[in-house]
Homo-oligomer: A and B are copies of this chain.
Amino acid sequence: MNLTKKSFIKGQWQTTQGQAFSSHNPVSNEPITQFLSATEVDASGAVAGAKASFAAYKSLSGQQRALFLEQIALEIENLGDDLLNTANDETGLGLVRLTGERGRTCNQIRAFANMLKDGFWVRASIDTSDAQRTPPKPDLRRMLRPIGPVLVFPASNFPLAFGVLGGDTASALAAGNPVIIKAHPAHPATSELCMLAAERALKKCGIDSKTISMLQGSTLTLAQSLVVNEAIQAIGFTGSLTAGRSIMDLAATRAIPIPVYAEMGSTNPVFITPDALQARGNEIANGLAGSIAMGTGQFCTSPGVIVTLESDAFKSDLIAAINEANQGYLLHPSIASGLQSSINSLVNNAAVEVLAGGVLDNNSLKTPNSLLATSAQAFLNDDDLHSEAFGPVSLLVTCQNIEELLMVANAIHGNLTATIQCQDNDDLAKPLADILESHVGRLIVNGFPTGVEVCASQQHSGPYPACSSPATTSVGSDAISRFARFIAYQDLPQALLPLELQDDNSLQILRQVNNQYHRDAC
């Protein structure tokens, strides 16, 4: 397979002159291919191209954008094994997982296409005029409209589903916005292939190829120059708390601040009631170990904290399950060093005991699963124990009694998820649910947090530090609304209104008309 090793800027594959960086094979633990970062000049060109393409792209109908998204999904599939093998070389995630992830990626793109065809997502609302009222009531109509160029920072851990054509890009394009993608430096070849698929879709659909740009790069200055570019209207980010917060802070200093939708750190605590521990302790231990080891622990929703009462049986079951669980590869040496640093900080804490793992291999990215333990009192008194360790490691927090368990529930930071393992008619289920929902985006009962279903009812978000914007979601249908804003039209003639708001409702979409929901004309 021939790689251009270029960035896609203003509709052209362009050679860039920034700092060199290499992709890396986690299994062999060796570099693969050298790429050159895009420069600030490249970034500026990409954004200018996006800005210039906005008027034409936003004028496409929902149906036209739906066909474009479907073409993108098809072009991703048309990349065939090249895409899977390339992504596997760059991530070590394995072909089974990557095949599944490709399916999810294409499914979520097609789900947005279906939303565009359905049309409800624009939340069209009409209040008709009343000339007899004093004062006369105007005709007001409102819907979500595109916002302009969106900047996307893909994640390291999902090279496809949160990659160049992942959920952020798909939802921003679906909403009618040009997109500038700063590709993740851990998988530049995968990124190039995805951009190639997007370029083919742009051409086949006759859409201005400046609508999507993809910049290769590993430098902070590139990222920063994009964040402060005044034409950028919103930012989607998935990654670490440190990087996410720095983007939030920088965006807040802009002359015109913009929303940053950053999905960041989460420990996804799992609370096990005494009844569940007694009835299903062994089964829960095995489930937890599988969830912790999944994707080598490199899921935003990996269960990093387990909270129970004291139980030697459960502890030994969990140690055994963790030791037996599959060992995978970390994605990149930078993730290995971050994980080692997080584990060291825990292991060097006097209140923490190592039950399994705890030491990484310096010469390999193959990684043991780790289980550490601490007391509820230590957890309550030391914020450091709440930090995410990104990788296959979990902290068992043992409580003396129910009161302590509820105190721990009250003390957890903002998280993507919390899980309750409980029995039927378990007295502790409701108090735990009442407390935990205030801290999370998704509350799970008797499941495990890994595995994020893509559907209308998904909420992949949560109070800070899990996310910068807890009210929005980065997975599921509603991800699209992050990249749109409402506009109201007062007394506009029919011909000046978007199709979705015209009287005849030719698109047959579900609309709110004078506070009633229906698909009728008005």
Query: Which residues of A pack against B, CB within 8 Å?
Result: 55, 120, 125-127, 135, 137-138, 140-142, 145, 147-148, 248-249, 252, 256-257, 259, 414, 424, 429-430, 433-434, 437-438, 440-447, 451, 453, 455-459, 461, 463-465, 468-473, 478, 481, 484-493, 495-496, 510, 512, 515, 517
Contact = CB atoms under 8 A, between A and B. Distances in A.
Contacts of A469: 259
Given A430-B495, A430-B496, A459 B471 contact: no
A442 B487 contact: yes
- Which of A127, A447, A484 has the most CB atoms of chain B within a 10 A radius of its CB? A127
A409 to B, nearest CB: 13
B257 A429 contact: no
A398 to B, nearest CB: 25
A510 B252 CA distance: 38
A127 B127 CA distance: 31
A471 B490 contact: no
A227 to B, nearest CB: 14
Given A138-B447, A441-B486, A461-B486, 15 more contacts: A125-B457, A126-B457, A127-B453, A138-B444, A142-B458, A256-B463, A257-B464, A430-B496, A443-B487, A445-B493, A447-B491, A461-B485, A470-B485, A471-B485, A471-B486
Q: How many copies does the complex hold?
A: 2
A415 to B, nearest CB: 12
Contacts of A442: 487-490
A437 B457 CA distance: 31
Nearest to A124: B457
A441 B510 contact: no
A244 B18 CA distance: 39
Contact of A256 (B55, B459, B464): B464
Given A429-B493, A441-B487, A486-B473, A55 B141 contact: no
Give the residue among A137, A259, A443 with the most B Cβ atoms within 10 A.
Answer: A443
Given A437-B145, A471-B259, A486-B441, A453 B491 contact: no
Contact of A438 (B137, B148, B259, B433): B148
Contacts of A471: 147, 259, 481, 484-486
Contact of A414 (B145, B256, B481): B256
Closest 7 CB pairs of A and B: A459-B488, A252-B252, A140-B457, A471-B485, A142-B457, A442-B488, A444-B490
Given A459-B486, A510-B517, A468 B140 contact: no
A407 B252 CA distance: 29
